[in-house]
């Protein structure tokens, strides 16, 4: 027989009387809302868009489901694996059929596979054939200098790009290390923290005295792989949405939040777009017969960076300048036979500045689950440049870039369907600026929490893990006060 604490009914009543508002229904907001609702808290989720999921979006393109934003996750932390298991989706998890990665835009327009024994693009053997194919004999000789130099930078140089340049030369940095950094995360390798992107590398460097030797030590260990979901990643969103409905959460779409205000009784007033602010002008629809929004005991801000800074600035003095960029993504569904002659791997990193596109993933080749031939091509845009271009023009550019990157002639006759999306591109957790951004965002008054990729670092695994941790802190705070929150944060 299970012993039930005597104060359980009282605690349950307290939980039901406690109101938590989650602003934003991307994956971070949904995970946090679920964590709060499942312990009995009254939860209201407010989402500006007309759908849930944010960057997790699956749509019917060309006759079948295609992931337009997030397509997979890393098993590094186990956070998403655990969530998928809780949502009874484990049987739909798939592993890559082909995990090959290539670099395009090399001198002369060449392309080549990423060196096999490498970490963050740093090769363990500068004389390996797959390294020399990219950097040439001269570049290999320069990289070999790493083994002759004294280890003067051990523990001193945090920048991945600067460390690689010092030890192995510009060609290794520009042609091998920079492409996956910029293509994958939209960040120059000079702005990546060595230890964050390659845990243990600094210690191995200290022991062995050479960068290539340190990579050799770490490359021998198995690294966590990628996973995806058969039928689309939005199944995670759908399952969480259904669970929130079962738990009685109030989920409102088409409801942008305009401000947060602390009330005299220690609660939070959440202001949404007023009746005079015509949602139709923004392409949104106002909630129908939505009940008045009660003030909240706690608010979790789970929006994009620009919106979060706008809401937090009057309360915390946080800067309103967003550091997120925009990733203009085009999903192409091509005729089934269009890419039969492709000899290059499914993931194409591009040497920065060599082409218009930042990168490409041939999803059908990588997972073997899609209908037709599904290809994602993306362009990183700074300060909104190019975002107002006509969709047809950007899709045509993406088709041309796919043809060049995959080295296969593609024309309009090969295109079955296409979709374009523009997503905010948060800095990765490995970015040198990320700890300062996280600290700035977390300097919030009691009763406020901030989550999302711009705080946790990009990547579904980090976003989900961080959302769960912050939701745990919030629910302990509202149920047991500051002591409970402090204990949760110290774990």
Task: Give pLDDT tens digits along the chain (491 positions).
Answer: 334 345 556 667 777 889 999 999 999 999 999 999 999 999 999 999 999 999 999 999 998 899 999 999 998 889 999 999 999 999 999 999 998 999 999 999 999 999 999 999 999 999 999 999 999 999 999 999 998 887 654 456 789 999 999 999 999 999 999 999 999 999 999 999 998 888 888 888 888 889 999 998 887 766 668 999 999 999 999 999 999 999 999 999 999 999 999 999 999 999 998 544 544 444 444 445 667 899 999 999 999 999 999 999 999 989 998 888 899 999 999 998 999 889 999 999 999 999 999 999 999 999 986 678 999 999 998 766 777 889 999 999 999 999 999 999 999 999 999 999 999 899 999 999 999 999 999 999 999 999 999 999 999 999 999 999 999 999 999 988 754 454 444 33
Coil, strand, or helix at residue 92?
A: helix
Question: What integer pLDDT is reported at residue 148 of this predicted model?
Answer: 87
| Nearest C-alpha neighbor of 318 from the set 218, 404, 441 | 441
What is residue 157's predicted lDDT score, i.e. its pLDDT? 79
pTM: 0.90
Minimal CA–CA distance to 42: which of 15, 23, 24, 22?
15
354 DSSP 8-state letter: S
Instruction: Indicate the helix (H) or strand (E) that contains 211.
Output: helix 211-219
Cα 224–183–163 angle (5° rounding)?
80
pLDDT of 372: 82
The fold of 8-54+233-322+429-489 is: FAD/NAD(P)-binding domain (3.50.50)
Q: Give pLDDT, residue 133.
A: 96
Q: What is the rounded distance in angstroms from the CA atom of residue 191 to the CA atom of residue 162?
A: 9
pLDDT recorded at residue 329: 96
CATH number of 117-219: 1.10.3110.10
Residues 6+ apart with CB under 8 A from 23: 29, 46, 257, 260, 270, 299, 300, 301, 302, 303, 311
Q: Using an 8 Å Cβ cutoff, are 333 and 65 in contact?
A: no
CA–CA separation, 317 and 121 (whole Å): 39
Separation of alpha carbons 352 and 347, rounded Å: 15
Residue 325 has a pLDDT of: 86
Based on its alpha-carbon atoms, the radius of gyration of the chain, rounded to whole angstroms, reads 24
Whether 58-76+92-98+226-232+326-425 and 8-54+233-322+429-489 are alike in CATH topology: the answer is no
User: Any residues with CB less than 8 A from the CB of 99 and at least 6 apart, and which?
Assistant: 225, 226, 346, 347, 366
Domain chopping of the chain, boundaries: 8-54+233-322+429-489, 58-76+92-98+226-232+326-425, 117-219
The confidence score (pLDDT) of residue 491 equals 37
What pLDDT was estimated at residue 206?
80
The pLDDT value recorded for residue 155 is 54
pLDDT at 151: 64
CATH number of 58-76+92-98+226-232+326-425: 3.90.660.20
Confidence (pLDDT) at 203: 83
Could you give the CA distance from residue 9 to residue 474 in angstroms, rounded to a whole number?
A: 21
């Amino acid at each position: 027989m299970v012993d039930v604490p005597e104060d359980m009914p009282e605690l349950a009543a307290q939980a039901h009387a406690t109101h938590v508002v989650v602003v934003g229904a991307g994956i971070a907001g949904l995970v946090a809302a679920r964590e709060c609702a499942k312990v009995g808290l009254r939860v209201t989720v407010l989402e500006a868009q007309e759908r849930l999921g944010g960057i997790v979006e699956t749509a019917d393109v060309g006759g079948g489901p295609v992931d337009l934003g997030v397509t997979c996750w890393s098993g590094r932390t186990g956070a998403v694996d655990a969530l998928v298991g809780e949502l009874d989706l484990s049987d739909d998890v798939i592993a890559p059929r082909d995990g090959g990665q290539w670099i395009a835009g090399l001198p002369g327009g060449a392309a080549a596979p990423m060196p096999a024994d490498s970490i963050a693009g740093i090769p363990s053997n500068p004389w390996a054939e797959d390294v020399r194919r990219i950097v040439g004999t001269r570049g290999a000789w320069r990289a070999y200098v790493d083994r002759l130099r004294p280890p003067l930078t051990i523990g001193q140089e945090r920048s991945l790009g600067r460390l690689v340049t010092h030890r192995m030369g510009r060609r290794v940095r520009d042609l091998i290390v920079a492409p996956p950094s910029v293509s994958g995360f939209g960040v120059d390798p000079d702005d990546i923290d060595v230890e964050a992107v390659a845990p243990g590398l600094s210690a191995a460097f200290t022991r062995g005295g050479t960068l290539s030797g340190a990579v050799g030590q770490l490359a021998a260990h198995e690294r966590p792989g990628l996973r995806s979901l058969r039928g689309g990643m939005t199944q995670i969103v759908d399952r969480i949405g259904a669970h929130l409905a079962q738990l009685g959460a109030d989920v409102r779409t088409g409801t942008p939040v305009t401000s947060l205000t602390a009330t005299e009784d220690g609660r939070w007033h959440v202001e949404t777009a007023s009746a005079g602010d015509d949602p139709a002008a923004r392409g949104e629809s106002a909630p129908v017969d939505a009940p008045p929004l009660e003030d909240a005991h706690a608010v979790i801000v789970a929006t994009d960076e620009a919106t979060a800074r706008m809401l937090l600035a009057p309360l915390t003095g946080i800067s309103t300048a967003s550091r997120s960029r925009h990733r203009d993504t085009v999903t192409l569904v091509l005729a089934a036979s269009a890419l039969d002659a492709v000899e290059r791997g499914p993931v194409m990193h591009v040497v920065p500045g060599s082409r218009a596109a930042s990168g490409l993933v041939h999803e059908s080749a990588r997972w073997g689950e899609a209908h037709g031939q599904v290809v994602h091509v993306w362009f990183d845009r700074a300060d909104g440049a190019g975002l107002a271009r006509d969709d047809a023009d950007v899709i045509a550019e993406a088709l041309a870039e796919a043809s060049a990157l995959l080295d296969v002639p593609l024309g309009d006759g090969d295109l079955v369907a296409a979709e374009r999306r523009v997503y905010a591109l948060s800095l990765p957790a490995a970015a040198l600026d990320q700890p300062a951004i996280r600290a700035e965002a977390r300097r919030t008054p009691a009763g406020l929490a901030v989550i999302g990729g711009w705080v946790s670092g990009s990547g579904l695994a980090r976003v989900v893990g961080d959302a769960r941790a912050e939701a745990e802190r919030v629910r302990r705070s509202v149920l047991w006060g500051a002591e409970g929150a402090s204990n949760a944060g110290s774990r």
